[in-house]
Amino acid sequence: MEKKKPGSSRPRASNNGGLDEDDGQHEEKQRLRLLRGGGGGLEDQAAVGQQEARPPGMFRRKSVRAALVLCLLTLPAGVLLLQWWRAANSPLLFDVDLPKMDDDYDQDMKDDIADDLSPSAQIEYDKLLGGLLIEGFDERSCRSRYQFARYHRNAARVPSAYLIERLRRQEALQKKCGPGTKSYNKALKQLSSGQSINTTDCNYLFLIIHAGLGNRMLEITSAFLYALLTDRILLVDSPESYGNMLREKVIGGNTYRSLVGARPPFVYLYLDGNYGFHDKLFYCEDDQQFLKGVPWLIMRTDMYFVPSLFLIPSYQDELSRLFPEKDTVFHHLARYLFHPTNDIWYSVTAYYKAYLAKADKRVGVQIRIYETKGILQRNGPFPHILEQILSCAQNEKLLPEIGATAEAAAVTAGKNQTIAVLTTSLSSWYSDQIRKRYSEHQTVDGTTVKVYQPSHEEYQKSKNKKHNMKALAEIYLLSMTDVLITSGFSTFGYAAQGLAGKTPWILFRSTNHVAPDPACGRGMSIEPCFHNAPFYDCKAKRDNVDLGKVVPYVRRCEDVSWGLKIVNQTQL
Same domain, 371 and 391: yes
What was the pLDDT predicted at 364? 98
Same domain, 400 and 437: yes
Report yes or no on 54 lying in a domain. Answer: no
Question: Which one has a higher pLDDT value, 503 or 152?
Answer: 503
Same domain, 303 and 435: no
In the predicted structure, residue 190 carries a pLDDT above the cut 70: yes
Report the mean per-residue pLDDT for the chain: 77
Cβ pair 341, 142 in contact under 8 A: yes
φ, ψ of residue 104 to 5 degrees: the values are -65, -40
Q: How many CB atoms lie within 10 A of CB 445?
A: 15
- What strands, in cross-sheet order, belong to the sheet with 564-566? 529-530, 564-566, 554-556
CA-angle at 152, arms to 307 and 433, nearest 5°? 90
Report yes or no on 195 lying in a domain. Answer: yes
How many independent structural domains does the chain possess? Answer: 2
Same domain, 282 and 226: yes
Q: Which H or E run contains 483?
A: strand 483-487
State the helix-helix crossing angle for 491-500 and 213-230, rounded to 10 degrees: 60
Q: Is 297 helix (H, G, I), strand (E, B) or coil?
A: strand
β strands within 500-553, DSSP E: 505-507, 520-522, 529-530
Report yes or no on 25 lying in a domain. Answer: no
Of the candidates 283, 318, 337, which is a domain's last residue?
337
In the predicted structure, residue 252 carries a pLDDT above the cut 60: no
- For the stretch 84-100, what's the b/e string if a residue is b when 16 or more beta carbons lie within 10 angstroms of its beta carbon? bbebeebebbbeeeeee
Query: In which domain, by residue range, is 384 found?
Result: 342-566
pLDDT tens by residue, 266-281: 889 999 999 999 999 9
Same domain, 371 and 242: no
φ, ψ of residue 412 to 5 degrees: the values are -100, 10
pLDDT tens by residue, 212-251: 899 999 999 999 999 999 999 999 875 444 334 334 444 3
Given pLDDT bands bounded at 50, 70 and 90, which one contains residue 542?
Answer: confident
Same domain, 331 and 352: no
